Structure 1
């Protein structure tokens, strides 16, 4: 399975009064990782949106094991956990510079028409993405 890792530098604005990353920021980091994964496959969300399509989150979960702290480098690793041509589940792991596992999670997505939110098939609308996802799951 293909995995892509993106570096995140913890910024002061992402932390709470205790100097640890506020929990909701990991969801933003998941998006950063997901974007990096898609770009590593040779695609980008901008092209999808230009085609009148968006990819909303339908479900998301995160499990917190250890806090990330201000000033430390972190890394979000992303992969396609499950894909059926219509729905995609991305998996995530966030680690720090000491390779300590901080957060794991996943997010579920579909693609929809931007104007009506009517669901579309990735397999039919973006056959290149479809093939790339199948290949990434086998690597």
Structure 2
């Protein structure tokens, strides 16, 4: 299983009145992690979009464990939790500088045609991505 790592600096604008990272910003960091994983696999999400294919989020599950604060660095770990040729579930751990888990999460996605939002089969339309995802996904 491939686990991609992306370091993120916590910026002041990402914190709330309590001085901790506002909860929605973790979703942005998850996107950074997904993009890094796709790049690590040798592909480009922007390239897919230029071909008229997008990958909307269809479900998010997130559990907040320990807050992060301004001035700290977070480490976003991302992997393919499940892949079946149509749907992808990415797994995430966002860690504090001490290595403690700040967030556990998953996001589910499908690929669709941008103009119609009709789903496509990744294995059929992007066989190279399909093969790479099969090799990189979490083994059971």
Pairwise TM-score range, normalised by the shorter structure: over 0.9
Query: Which residue number in structure 2 is paired with residue 36 of structure 1?
Result: 36
| C-alpha separation in 1, matches of 2:42 and 2:106 | 22
| C-alpha separation in 2, matches of 1:19 and 1:91 | 27
- Mapping for residues 41-120 of structure 1, pairs under 5 Å: 41-120=41-120
Runs of at least 4 residues off by over 2 Å: none
8 Å Cα contact 2:52-2:114 kept in structure 1: yes
Indicate the SS of the match to 1:120. coil
| C-alpha separation in 2, matches of 1:45 and 1:23 | 25
How large is the RMSD of aligned CA atoms in angstroms? Answer: 1.0
**Residue 138 of structure 1: CA displacement?**
6.0
TM (norm. structure 2) is: 0.97
Aligned length: 139
Structure 2 unmatched ranges of 5 or more:
none
Structure 1 unmatched ranges of 5 or more:
none
TM (norm. structure 1) is: 0.98
